[in-house]
Amino acid sequence: MHQAGSGSDPGGGPPHSAPDGAHRSRVTLRVNGTDRDLDVDHRVTLLDALRETLELTGTKKGCDHGQCGACTVLVDGRRANSCLLLAVAQDGAEVTTVEGLADADGTLHPLQRAFLAHDAFQCGYCTPGQLCSAVGVLGEAADGQPSHVTGTAAPSGPVTLTTDEIRERLSGNLCRCGAYNGIVEAVAEVGAGMNGADVTAPSSSAIPPRPDVIV
Amino acid sequence: MHPTNALGSPVPRREGREKVTGAARYAAEHTPPGCAYAWPVPATVASGRVTAVDGTAAAALPGVIGVLTPFDAPRLGASEDPTLQLLQDPRVPHRGWYVALVVADTLEGARAAASEVRVTYASEPHDVILRADHPDAYTPDEANGGHPGHREQGDPDTALSAAPVRIDCTYAVPPLHNHPMEPHAATADWDAGRHHLTVHDSSQGAGPVRAALASLFKLPEDGITVVSEHVGGGFGSKGTPRPHVVLAAMAALHYGRPVKLALPRGHLPATVGHRAPTLHRISLGAHADGTLTALTHEVTTHTSRVREFVEQAAVPARVMYAVPDVRTTHRAVALDVPTPSWMRAPGEAPGMYALESAMDELADALGIDPVELRVRNEPASEPDSGRPFSSRHLVECLREGAERFGWARSRAPRHEGPYLIGAGVASATYPVLVAPSTARAHARPDGGYLVEINATDIGTGARTVLAQVAADALRVPVGRVAVAIGHTGLPAASLAGGSCGTASWGWAVHDACAALTARLGSHRGPLPAEGLSASADTTQSAKQKSPYARHAFGAHFAEVQVDTVSGEVRVRRLLGVFAAGRILNPQTARSQFKGAMVMGLGMALTEHSTVDAAFGDFTENDLAAYHVPVHADVPDIEAHWIDEHDKHLNPMGSKGIGEIGIVGTAAAIGNAVAHATGQRLRELPLTPDRVLTALHGSA
């Protein structure tokens, strides 16, 4: 409802006070490959900007405190709890939500297909976060980032996504329906089938991690 | 037409694609033009009265539409549930009770303004701590589910004193929180021109929500539409209308704006119900061969001062074992606490934790294998009622589970480095319930079918299984059947609760489709353009009292490792075998069994809430403090079932499966910990501090 017109000056504009007194700024987010110019109240989280302003309601609000992972999206290729990011601080960021995982022609991402095949959800509310988090996991493993359970003797290079690795890396994504077994099976299947194929987010390897992104 | 066998097939979830692409919309994901946002203000005292609400500072903030208080909120009509009488009375019955509601143009504005509302109280002393010897404890006439509060057969006290072997133990289960991943939310939109209220609500049953709103706001039911298309879990906490939907509707009607209200996670423990804490005392008397001679199960629990809810935790002891002298009784204490309500398998989950722990202690005392002890006490009929079981395959579940688990091999506790390894078993039971429903089936000239019923899919796969029921009744491929659910414009149906959704809705769908099949059979020539329809109402058949005792049964097996250094318990293996009638969809059924076992794992090891003596509400009020199991806690779980053909249920031959998976899990894990360590912990959850104290004594 506060979206700036498409012809307005996008991105990086100085903060200003709107008529209602709220502190606002213009930012541009590249969401699922499309630039979205927003005039945001500084209190608006990335999560609420997605859900309430851009009507991308696939990203879920489970706790609003970074404790459940339902709001996980990819910001510049890295997974992040969007409830812990203020939209105003994400000017210029590339954001991938669950709506951006499938191809434009509707072909599902391999993880989406695997979630269906392994009945990796019940109510579906944690599912977008699990999916985006899993995309991040695949990228992190491919990049050789160790986790708490990666052995110190493990060779450098890509990390093999064992079930222990997947469980550790996805433990920030709660599922109250208890679909964990199916989720792990789905991620393991896709992880095993990667073989160098790019099943991560479009921009994951191209852009270096940003230090202000909370994972 | 060709015979099909949709039932029994692993038909994929119909809404799967919507859920994995983010297209499925939940209650707070509808934003009508001009939508405002509401944020409730909870009481900060545990008992007393609101003397004043100063909304001046809040109302002065930009974009604030208004502040409703107990002194000026619109007056509501009647409600069966007094927790829905919101902002009607300055009385504060517990901390967290809503005392104001802020409505603003934006979510951020509403939240900021709520923090500026100044509430003044006349505080009174409060009493929030449950004790077994609380002087106000009383025996309720009925516990939840309409079960008698007290039952006694024979002379259990005399039988206990005469028993060759006796067990007398106390167990404690803390308050637990449902915490569905989708917090309770509603979007309400009042169309003044049409005089119609449309509400998207996160609910386990849109019908009861509509009925409650009609009464509260004095509107005709046909002037209200309630939609619960996708629901992000409920586990009982969305089983009846909850405060959020009343507040959203109140604000929408009062301000003439669509209003969205999504509860903050931290509000849930105090406002949407919880599993009440239960204190159990169980005495078992037995012969040396393990045959039970006496059983007493006494449960003390809390309820609120707003509404009586008594967790029926002594009820499963009326079902499980052959024992001639038995007393099962509940005592409740009304405290200044939030109102407890349903949480997955109310009664059975905590009750069977205690009973099955006690059975394990008896097996230990007698030196009898715990599986064998249960087999030796298998009753010929339901102990409490004397009615024959419609089907009971507990022994088969125990035997099958023992075989699959490798029970005999796991009976020697062992060490692996710092870990103690042990195995445990527990039985499970859950009643077969059914509620009246109606459904309509429609045949289109193009060969497609539409089944309509106001059922709710809270993650169970209801759409899918109802399509399967319809396909078989119509004798057509399941792909030709469309199913419409989750809307009060559809034929009325029961809520998704009590593990009876599929039985209740499926019965109506079956009957409607059978009636349609008959109509189609007698129809000559092509179908008219508008197609043919048939309806069904199962009020008569579902309400018919069965001469049989009808329950599902199951057996849980767990292997745990106990870290002697950290005290951490980890579940290595978890296996359940269930006898729950005909399994209609093995894929969605397995997911439900396993999901409930995950919740049982949480009940055993991680989930713990505390009533704070000073403040009066729950200390663990967010997901950082209240630990639901995460990926790393959950091993590969096995859920199996045995074929059960029971003609005394419903046309599908199914029993409910949504809750039984939690029932025996905590006891099986607790028994495994006792097996591993030789130490019995009788208070859940089995957290490292408690385990270490048991292993090494208090420091």
- The ipTM, to two decimals, is 0.97
- What number of other Cβ atoms are within 10 A of residue B214's Cβ? 18
- Among A16-30, A143-157, B159-173, which is the least confidently predicted range? A16-30
Does B16 contact chain A (CB < 8 Å)?
Answer: yes
Coil, strand or helix: which one is B420? strand
Q: Could you give the CA distance from residue B191 to residue B363 in angstroms, rounded to a whole number?
A: 65
CA distance A48 to chain B (A): 8
- Do residue A112 and residue B622 have CB atoms under 8 angstroms apart? no
User: Which residues have C-beta within 8 Å of that of residue A113, sequence separation ≥ 6?
Assistant: none
Q: Which of A99, A126, A172 sits opposite B21 (nearest CB)?
A: A99
Residue B436: pLDDT over 50: yes
Does B598 contact chain A (CB < 8 Å)?
Answer: yes
**pLDDT attached to residue A202:** 42
User: Mean of the pLDDT values across residues B356-375?
Assistant: 98
User: Regarding beta strands B532-537 and B551-563, do their DSSP bridges make them parallel or antiparallel, or are they unpaired?
Assistant: unpaired
- Do residue B631 and residue A171 have CB atoms under 8 angstroms apart? yes
**Residue among B573, B604, B603, B671 at smallest CA distance from B359:** B671
| Closest chain A residue to B267, measured at CA | A63
Residue B416 annotated to the active site: no
- Domains with residue ranges and CATH for chain A: 16-100 (3.10.20.30), 110-192 (1.10.150.120)
Tokens of B546: 């069965």
User: Mean of the pLDDT values across residues A53-59?
Assistant: 98
Q: Which of residues 151-190 of A touch B (CB under 8 A)?
A: 163, 166-168, 170-184
- Do residue A108 and residue B182 have CB atoms under 8 angstroms apart? no
**pLDDT attached to residue A211:** 36
Better pLDDT: A21 or B623:
B623
Identify the residue among A105, A125, A135, A164 best suited for mutation to test binding to B, counting B beta carbons within 10 A and taking the highest: A125
**pLDDT attached to residue A155:** 82
Q: Which of residues 36-75 of A touch B (CB under 8 A)?
A: 41, 43-44, 48, 51-52, 55-65, 67-68, 70
- Among A200-204, B422-426, B678-682, B685-689, which is the least confidently predicted range? A200-204
Residue A135 carries which DSSP code? H
- Do residue B181 and residue A176 have CB atoms under 8 angstroms apart? yes
Q: Which of A57, A174, A181 sits opposite B29 (nearest CB)?
A: A57
Residue B72: pLDDT over 50: yes
**pLDDT attached to residue A22:** 66
Helices A180-192 and A127-142: crossing angle in degrees, nearest 10, is 40
- Using a CB-CB cut-off of 8 Å, the residues of chain B touching A128 are 22
**pLDDT attached to residue B4:** 63
Tokens of A50: 């997605």
- CB contact at 8 A, B656 and B499: yes
- Do residue B19 and residue A70 have CB atoms under 8 angstroms apart? no
**Could you tell me which CATH number the domain at B31-125+179-271 has?**
3.30.365.10
| Closest chain A residue to B268, measured at CA | A63
**pLDDT attached to residue A7:** 37
**pLDDT attached to residue B698:** 57
**pLDDT attached to residue A209:** 38
Q: How far apart are the first and last CA of chain A?
A: 29
User: Mean of the pLDDT values across residues B602-609?
Assistant: 98
What is the CATH architecture of B389-432+550-699?
A: 2-Layer Sandwich (3.30)
**Residue among B583, B589, B586, B571 at smallest CA distance from B661:** B589
Q: Which fold has domain B16-23+433-543?
A: Aldehyde Oxidoreductase; domain 4 (3.30.365)
**pLDDT attached to residue A20:** 57
- Using a CB-CB cut-off of 8 Å, the residues of chain B touching A74 are none
- Do residue B22 and residue A56 have CB atoms under 8 angstroms apart? yes
Residue B229: pLDDT over 70: yes
- Using a CB-CB cut-off of 8 Å, the residues of chain A touching B599 are 176, 178
User: Which residues have C-beta within 8 Å of that of residue A166, sequence separation ≥ 6?
Assistant: A137, A184, A187, A188, A191, B631
Q: Could you give the CA distance from residue A197 to residue B539 in angstroms, rounded to a whole number?
A: 57
Q: Could you give the CA distance from residue B467 to residue B488 in angstroms, rounded to a whole number?
A: 19
Give the H/E segment covering residue B280: strand B278-286
User: Which residues have C-beta within 8 Å of that of residue B38, sequence separation ≥ 6?
Assistant: B101, B102, B103, B110, B247, B248, B251, B259, B260, B261
- Do residue B595 and residue A179 have CB atoms under 8 angstroms apart? yes
> Which residues of chain B form CATH 3.30.365.10?
16-23+433-543, 31-125+179-271, 389-432+550-699
- CB contact at 8 A, B690 and B698: no
- CB contact at 8 A, B593 and B663: no
**Residue among B558, B556, B284 at smallest CA distance from B426:** B556
Q: Could you give the CA distance from residue B315 to residue B323 in angstroms, rounded to a whole number?
A: 14
CA distance A9 to chain B (A): 24
Maximum Cα–Cα distance across chain B: 86
**pLDDT attached to residue A13:** 55
User: Which residues have C-beta within 8 Å of that of residue B313, sequence separation ≥ 6?
Assistant: B173, B278, B280, B297, B299, B301, B330, B347, B350, B351, B354
Coil, strand or helix: which one is A59? coil
B413 band by pLDDT with thresholds 50, 70 and 90: confident
Type of residue numbered A42:
H
Q: Is it true that the peptide bond before B685 is cis, omega within 30 degrees of 0?
A: yes
- CB contact at 8 A, B665 and B606: no
Reported pTM: 0.95
- CB contact at 8 A, B188 and B197: yes
Type of residue numbered B132:
A
| Closest chain A residue to B574, measured at CA | A181
- Using a CB-CB cut-off of 8 Å, the residues of chain A touching B20 are 98, 108, 112, 115-116, 121, 124, 127, 131
Q: Could you give the CA distance from residue B170 to residue B299 in angstroms, rounded to a whole number?
A: 10
- Looking at the DSSP bridge assignments, the partners of residue A29 are A36
- Do residue B595 and residue A177 have CB atoms under 8 angstroms apart? yes
A18 band by pLDDT with thresholds 50, 70 and 90: low
Helices A110-117 and A127-142: crossing angle in degrees, nearest 10, is 120
Sheet containing B481-484: order of strands: B481-484, B449-452, B438-443, B532-537
User: Mean of the pLDDT values across residues B453-482?
Assistant: 98
Q: From residue B536, how far is each of B92, B506, B662 by CA, in Å?
A: 46, 11, 33
Type of residue numbered A29:
L
Better pLDDT: B334 or A207:
B334
CB-hemisphere CA count at 13 Å for B513? 29
Residue B44: pLDDT over 80: yes
B167 band by pLDDT with thresholds 50, 70 and 90: very high
